[in-house]
Amino acid sequence: SILLEEYAREMIVLEELHLDEVNKMLRKPGELRAFAA
């Protein structure tokens, strides 16, 4: 179903944005590289 595919794609995009935000929070101020878990 196209509708389901669109929904799934949107969820993935939101998840990636969220991970980016979390990554930003975990970094030390002024640090530009991604947080290494």
Domain limits, the chain: 1-28
Q: Is 70 exceeded by the pLDDT of residue 36? A: no
Separation of alpha carbons 8 and 22, rounded Å: 21
Cβ-count burial of 27 within 10 angstroms (0-12 exposed, 13-18 middle, 19+ buried)?
A: middle
4 membership: H or E segment, kind and range: helix 2-26
Answer with the residue of higher pLDDT: 36 or 31.
31
Predicted structure pTM score: 0.55
pLDDT tens, position by position, 1-31: 999 999 999 999 999 999 988 888 887 777 7
